[in-house]
Structures are given as structure tokens and as C-alpha cells.
Amino acid sequence: MAVQIDGALVQQVAKLAKLSLTDADLPAVARDLERVLALVGVLDEVDVTGVTPLVHPHELGLRPRADEVQPGFTQDQALANAPAREAGHFLTPRVIG
Amino acid sequence: MTTLAAAEAQIAARDAEIGAFLHVETLRGSTDGPLAGLPIAVKDNIAVAGQPMTAGSRILRGYVPVRHATVVDRLLAAGAVLVGKTNLDEFGMGSSTELSAFKPTRNPLDVTRVPGGSSGGSAAAVAAGMAWASLGTDTGGSIRQPAAFCGLAGLKPTYGRVSRSGVVAYASSLDQVGPLAKTVREVAQVYAVIAGHDPHDSTSADQPVSAVAWRDDLAGLRIGVAREHLDAAEGLDPDVQARMHDVLRALQDRGAILVPVSLPHTRHGIAAYYLVATAEASANLSRYDGLRYGQRAENPQTLEALYTQSRAQSLGQEVQRRILLGTFALSAGYQDAFYQKACRVRRKIADDFHAAWQTCDLLLSPTSPVPPWPLGQMTDDPLAMYLMDAFTVGPSLAGLPALSVPVGVDRQQLPIGAQLVGRPFDEATILAVGDVVQRAFATGAA
Amino acid sequence: MSAFEPVIGLEVHAQLMTRTKIFCGCAVSVGGEPNTRTCPVCLGMPGALPVLNAEVVRLAVRAGLGTGCAIQTTSVFARKNYFYPDLPKGYQITQADLPICLDGQLLLDDGKVARIQRIHLEEDAGKSIHGATGTRVDLNRAGTPLVEIVGHPDLRSADEAVAYLRALRGILVTLGVCDGNMEEGSLRCDANVSVRPIGSAVFGTRVEIKNMNSFRSVRDAIMFEVERQVGLITDGDRVRQETRLWNVDLARTESMRSKEEAADYRYFPDPDLPPLHLDPAWLDAQRADLPELPAARKARYERDLGLDLRTATWLTDEPPRADAFDQSVAGMPDLAAPFAVFLMTQVQAQLQRVERTWPELVDAMPVLLRICGKWRGGQLSNKMLADLLQTGFADLTQPLATALTGAESQAGAVLSDDAALEPVVDAILAQFPGEVAKYRAGQKQLTGFFVGQAMRQLAGKADAKVITALLARKLDV
């Protein structure tokens, strides 16, 4: 599938991925992405009609665990690596600004 | 054999130049066991509790895991002594270890050249005698190619054979942990310790791990050779090609039968691999948001700024490139044509291998189409670097075990590796044959 | 107004009654100190991997069987990608294309069948607390197991929506899938509401309503929203597709701040979780293990016990109450119907006065039945019964069963022998000669007056039937 990568599409993808791109970055990233997509364009050659996508290499099934409580973290352990915390919570800037 | 004292001495003597380690710290486990006293280095995307873990990324600077990865628990229980955490391309995304956020690693066999990647630090540590063996991770060739580049043996086990619990995810359906060491037998020794079912990893397989039957005679063994991986391969270095034919002759001399096979979708492997890997990575790396751990942008005023600035400032360019590609491949309107298509082609690739198993017991190819390149040569051209994975991504996509075995050096004295690919969960065969191959070329039969 | 009909579909999230979270061994709990029920998995630490809880599967299958769904022998977990502070991994593990249950139905009280589209498993998010210094995040709830039950837009009124939710809740509680507590959020309901001209086959623009945490809110919010939409259309305006929140204090739905970009969740199969395969033999065992479901129970109450629909529905609505009822009336079919009415009226009235709940009443059910039996048999007068219940329910110092037994023994015995009551009756007749004359002249309804006077004299502790009989004997000669 040939895709025209423009700045708007790159910006939209960056937004989904939470990566900030400046307007100055956009043309270079768009070109870059376009080159990668040209590389993957080779897949167009393959006829995959009726082929089920392969996601898990060996397609073994899940084996659920027993519903038993296992020791977890203390509050200190949970927050040990947190850049900011307050009263036992992780802290972020206000969600609604 | 590299002892702990020797390893520590080598680290002190050489690591300033090589740059194999991001963190040096000795951690002893059990006093006895199959690996008692053996110094082992661990790639820095595998959690060792209490020691910093960065996965080669600035975004994890300062992060200290509270629990060991399952493989680390197993090494320690088997008596291994951990000597430190090794350098890698950020989150395993690269083939030269130049894409570490902290420093490049140099190839101990030729310090002007790359050690391969992404497990370049793990390979360099062993090659320089700074560890007896090491753990790497392999998503599309990240154990095998650095093993080949550093003249080592390196095993990517069957997908599901070794637990991923505590291992920083790059692409969850492809990632496997495996050992690197100077010999196939040493690789097998570490593999025997880390392989096996782990209830903390739902993709871990509950398949028996059989012991390797070491042998000299390969009578009747059928070795598949795909044209697409040898004589019809694009961009294959002539020395590497010639050496593969030497290897095949050596195998025939020991009674093996060569079987021509076809892997017609080889040329689609890299495309399928990059779409699947980046799609999974785009979700796997969403957790690096500067909230619960890792680096956060200074003074973000809004939540959106916290996310976008923390990630844009602390993730490297190649990582961002792959996240963008993966996000795009999954996004509405494009998912069918890119991610889904890649997963369908993935099945065709896996089917090619399954078909090959009808006529052969293992496959042989070069590990890398070229010998190690000079530092800096590929950093400006990520796409050229992607193409270096041509022979390693297929077995990754199909979830097959694959071993890189050192088979001497080329005219420039640069190491060459041969890749042996086995049936699912049949590591034992490729290890046994790899041992034969390695011994055949041990005296530098160039 | 009447030219339009509402079209409503509910999406219900039910928290599963497991000990541990869906993908890790952390205990599921309400409240507690923040971030004390966490581990690397539910905090989304690097390298942590999900492992599915088997009990979650069993409960989801029960929910599916209880709602007539086709249980899927293969289902797949998917990642739903979005960033939010209380979503640790940057994606929610849920089920997308291949959920665990498909195509069920609910039988509503009015006989209507409402279709269920699907039931899927997913993990809950944590809690964000927005304050002055920023947003605080507590991840204790992150990873709590949920089923989402998605209904077809088959409902045509707010009352029908409530009936659907009641029926669904009854099934989930009966099967031990969910505790059904809407106030605490273990049962949450979102409604998709649109309106269209009656007779139209196409759907109008739909609005999603969130934040309704009681049956009352569901009813009020839908009624409000339907009226709002009809108002817009009749004013020549149009309905905007959006999510609105129910504001219970102001009794209105309010537009959520609209998101800047349309969501693109980029669902794809979670590579960390292979497909879930269910063994047909195990499924058969699950099917065989189902208790009587509310619809069947209600039908049995009407058919075998002679309960009217209202009483049968009321009793069935709280499965533990119905279970206890079934146990206590076993072997006494004659008392069952009056006892059910007794519970729904006299006992329910007590509950509206005091801080007791139905679960507490389960233990007291045998005592209540004994009291009801005494009352029906005349050993307790109406007055004595009312006093007894009042005293028993008001005593919050001890369990209800104990309190009621105490009140029962204090109530003493009703006066029912002629020898004791005859002098009282004689005195009343002597006191009201005029009324006696009127009675004898044909005003038979004065019996009530005489009984009342006698009961007052006796402080209510007499058997009115015996008094009535005595009066008849003395006046009708």
C-alpha cells in the first residue's frame, strides 16, 4: 500500500505516541518514515489471501494461575522509583490544566 | 577458562577502552551448582535486583528494579557470580551497540569496529575475557550477530523456552534471552540453567529440555541449505559465502547430507520483522511516561507536557523512529495494510520453515551477511543497518532456535559466524552440530 | 414529544469476585492505604508480565452461561492503547475481536427479551485524584478484574433500562460473579441513548452517559437525556455525538470536556498472552454447576408458591435474600406466600427506619419466619408484632436474630382464652349501650369499634379473632 506521508499524518502519529515533534522536525521525520515504508512495501508482493495472522509463534494456549494472593510491594517499594510523589501517591501535573 | 579473578582483572584493564559494561558490581548466588564460581555478565535490559537497569536508555536512568528477572534467579541458584550489566543499543533497537544512550561498545577483536548488537556489551565482555559467559537478548538477531562479530557462540533459544519475566520488552512475540560464550559447550551449560517453564511468563512453554548428546559423527543428519540464505542472497560478502561452503564441506565429511531447501519469503522477512517488532514496541514502550519511574521532563506544566517532553527528551532517535513506525502500523486506516499484513506474511515465513523440516533436520546459513563494520559507518543509515538482519529475522519470526557458531576469520582477520537453525524446542540438535562445526574451525581454519 | 421513541443500550462493567487481580497475585480490595496492593505487574514495571487468573475465567463463563451467551472456546486478549496517569502500561488489556462470550439475552419482567452482544474480560484502571498540587495516582485498583457486558440497543424506555440492569444484576449476584454493589462501583453502568421518530428504522445520533451509580440515577439520567434530545430535535437543532456525565445533584447530564482528537486505540492482540482455550468438558461441568437463575426462580415463586409478580420480583432481586427465604420456608408451602409478603411489607418498612441491611437479615430469616408464623396463627397480635419488630430492629447492639429473639420473648403471650377476655368484652358492651343498640339494629360494622375498644383496654395484647368471636356470641343472640 503506497502511503503519502505528510506533516499532518506524522503529527497525528506523534500525538498518539506522545512524542512531541516541532514543525521543524516534521519534514525530516516524514521523509524518514516514507523511506521505511518504501522498504516494507516489498510485502505487497505477497499474496496473503486466506492467511491467518501469526501473532504467537507456537500458538500454545494460556495456562491460567490459581487465584491465590502473592506478596507484592510495600508502598515504599511501589514508589521507590517515582520521580514525584505525595502522600503515598504517584504525582503528576494536574490532568485538567 | 575465565575465572572471577581473571574477569575482574580484565574489566579493570580493558573496559575503559571497550565500554562493555554500564554497571560493574559483583553479585554472588549459591556457592555450588553447575555454574559455581563462574563469572557471568548480564545485558542491562535484564533485571538484577538492587542494581540500576537502564536498557541503554536515558529514560530509565536511575531506575533500580526491586526483583530479579527469572533468568537471574536461575543463574544465581546455579552458583554463577554476576559481574555487571552490559551495554546495548537502546531497548535492544540496533545492530551495533552504537545506539546506546550512554556510550558505544568496541569490538575487542578490533577496537575500530563494532561488536554487533544489540547485545554488543555482552559479546564484548566475553570476547575480552571480562566474563566467562554472558546473557543477551535476541529479538531479530541481537545475540547471534554480536556473537558472530566477536568470534563467540551465541544461542537464541526457541521462543518460549526461556522466561522473559524481568526482561525489558522490546517486541514481546520475538524477544528471547540466551547465552553467549566462547564455546558452544559453554553456551549449552548456561542454556541448561536458564531454560525451562516459568509460571510468571504466560508465553513460557512447558516443554521438556532435553540434554545435548554431544557427538563427532553426523551420519545421516540432513542439513538444509536455502539458496536465499547463501548463493542467491543479496549483499553477501564473498569471504562469508566461501566460508559457508567450507562449513558445508566439513559437515559432509562427517557424514551429514546436504539438502537444498527453499525459504521463498526470505526477502520479506525484514519488512515483516520491522512492522511486527515496532508495532509491539510502540505499546511496550508506552509505560515509559515519566510517572512511576525513570526520567521526567523538568517542570512539566501539564500532563500532556509531562508525557511528550519526558519521552521526546529521554528516548533516542532510533527508538522514537521505531515507536512512530509501530504506532503508524497499528493506527486506524493503516493497521490492515501494515501490521496485519506483516502478521500474515509472518505466517508464510513460518510455513516456509515448517515445510523445510519435512526434508531436513536443521538449516545452515551465515549469521550476518558481512563481517563487523567500522564504528560510525552505519549510524547515519538506519535502513542499511536493518538489512544486516536478513538471515536472523526469519527464525525470530518463526520462533525457532538459532545458534551462531564461530567459523574462523576472513582475510582481514575478522570473525565469521555460521547460523544453525533448528526445529521448535530442538536446541539439542543445533548445539550438538554447532559443537562439531566449532571444533572443525577451532584452529582458525581460514 | 410522543412522536419520538428512545433507543437505549447499556454497557455494564461488573467487578469479578476474585481474591486476586486479573493478571497478578495482588489482593483485590476496596480502599486501604494508597499503593499498598501493587506489584511489578500492576504497576507496569519494565519486564513485568501478565499471568491470567483462572477464577476470572470461571466467573466470566458463569456470567455468559447465566445470560444465555455462546461461550467461545477460543478468546484473545488485546491491548487498547492510550495514555492516562492511572493506566500504568499505557495500554489496557481487554478483549477485542474475540471476546469470551457472544450473543446472549436477558428476559425482562414484562416478558421482553433484550439481547446481549458480548461479554469480555478486561483489567480496571487505578484511581486519579485531582487536587490543587496536581493529580495523585493510586494504583491499588489497577488490574482489578472486570467483565464488560455490552447490550444491544433493544431498550425503549428508562424503565426498561432499569429492568434490564436489575435482571442482569440478579443473575450476576446469583452466580457469585459480582457483588452487585453500584454505590461502591463494583457494578457500573453506561448508557447509549438516542431518540428517533416512532416508526423510523434508523437510529438517531447516540450519546453515551456515564457516572450513574444507582438504579435511580440510571432511570433519571436516561429520562433527562431523552427529553433533552427530543427538545433539541423539536427545536430544529441536532444531537451531537458525545459523552455526557450524570450530575446527580443537579439532576442533569452534562457534556464532558470534549477530547481534542478522536481516540484511536490501536487494538492489537497482546503478544504477552497466548489465546485462551476452554476445554468443552470443563465448560459442560460449568454449565452443570449453575444454580437456579432469577427468571426461573421468579417463575417458580409464581407457579409453586402462588406469589404475585410484584412480590416474586422483589424477593428475587436480592439473591441472598431469596436463598435464605427458600431455605426457611422449605417444607412449609402454606406459609411461603404470606411470609414473602411479610418480608416485603412489615420487614422492609423496618429497614427504611434503621441502619440494617438485607445481608444481616439472612441470618435472622428463621426467626422472622417463626414470628410471622405466630402472628398468622394469632399468637401475636398486630400491635404486638409491630412492637416486637420495632424493638428488635432498633437494637443495634447485637445481631438481628438475637435482638428479635429477645424482643419476641418480651412480647409475652397474646390473650386468647375466653375466660380472660370475657370480662373485658362485657365491660365494653356495658360502657357503650347506644352502640350495642345500633349494632342490634343492623349496623354490623360496629364490630370493629368494639374490638378496637377491647384491644385498647388490653394494650393490644389480645387475639382479635377471639374477641370477635366473643362479641358475636354475645350480640348475635
Lowest-confidence pick of C105-114, C251-260, C321-330: C251-260
Largest CA distance in chain B: 70
Domain holding B48: CATH number? 3.90.1300.10
Tell me if A27 is assigned to some domain.
Answer: yes
What integer pLDDT is reported at residue A5 of this predicted model?
Answer: 86
A61, A78, A92 member nearest C134 (Cβ) = A92
Most confident residue range from A1-5, B310-314, C374-378: B310-314
Q: Is residue A32 part of a domain?
A: yes
> What is the pLDDT, as a whole number, of residue B352?
97
Nearest CA in chain A to B295: A83
| Per-residue pLDDT tens over the stretch C69-86 | 999 999 999 999 999 999
Q: What is the CATH number of the domain that holds A30?
A: 1.10.20
Mean pLDDT calculated for residue range A80-96:
88
Tens of pLDDT, residues B346-366: 999 999 999 999 999 999 999
Contact between C83 and B307 using a beta-carbon 8 Å cutoff? yes
Q: Give the least confident one: B122-136, B284-298, B331-345, C414-428.
A: C414-428
Q: Given this model, what pLDDT does residue B59 score?
A: 96
List chain C domain ranges: 4-283, 292-411, 418-475
Q: Nearest CA of chain B to the CA of A59: how many Å? A: 9
Which residue in C23, C35, C276 has the most chain A C-beta atoms within 10 A of its own C-beta, making it the best mutation to test that interface?
A: C35
Higher pLDDT, C96 or C421: C96
Average pLDDT over every residue of B118-122: 98
Share of chain C above pLDDT 90, in %: 61
Kindly state the percentage of chain B with pLDDT values over 70. 99
Question: Is residue A52 domain-resident?
Answer: no
pLDDT in tens, C363-417: 889 999 999 998 888 888 888 888 889 898 888 888 888 889 988 888 777 777 7
The stretch C165-184 carries a mean pLDDT of 94
Q: Which residue has the cell 435482571?
A: C167
ipTM: 0.96
Residue A21 lies in a domain: yes
Confidence band of B5 (pLDDT split at 50, 70, 90): very high
For C266, nearest residue in chain A (alpha carbons): A16
C interface mutation test: which of B66, B286, B327 has the most C CBs within 10 A?
B286
Task: Identify which has the larger pLDDT, C431 or C20.
Answer: C20
Give the residue numbers spanning the domain of A15: 7-45
* Per-residue pLDDT tens over the stretch B364-414: 999 999 999 999 998 788 788 888 899 999 999 999 999 999 999 999 999
pLDDT recorded at residue C260: 46
Res A97 pLDDT > 60 = no
pLDDT at C429 over 60: yes
pLDDT-derived band at C258, boundaries 50, 70, 90: low
Residue B305: which domain range? 1-446
Task: State the total domains in chain A.
Answer: 1
Q: Which residues of B are catalytic?
A: 43, 118, 142
Domain count, chain B: 1
Cβ–Cβ gap A40/B306 under 8 Å: no
- Mean pLDDT, to the nearest integer, of B289-295? 92
A97 within some domain: no
Given a cut of 70, whether residue C262 has pLDDT beyond it is no
CATH number 2.40.128 given to C418-475? no
Residues C276-309 have pLDDT tens digits of 999 999 999 999 999 999 989 999 999 999 999 8
pLDDT at residue B444, rounded to an integer = 45
List pLDDT tens digits, range B142-197: 999 999 999 999 999 999 999 999 999 999 999 999 999 999 999 999 999 999 99
CB contact under 8 A, C85 and B327: no
| Average pLDDT, integer, range B322-334 | 96
Q: Measured between beta carbons, which residues in chain A are less than 8 angstroms from residue B202?
A: 62-63
Across residues B188-210, what is the average pLDDT?
96
Is the pLDDT at B45 greater than 50, yes or no?
yes
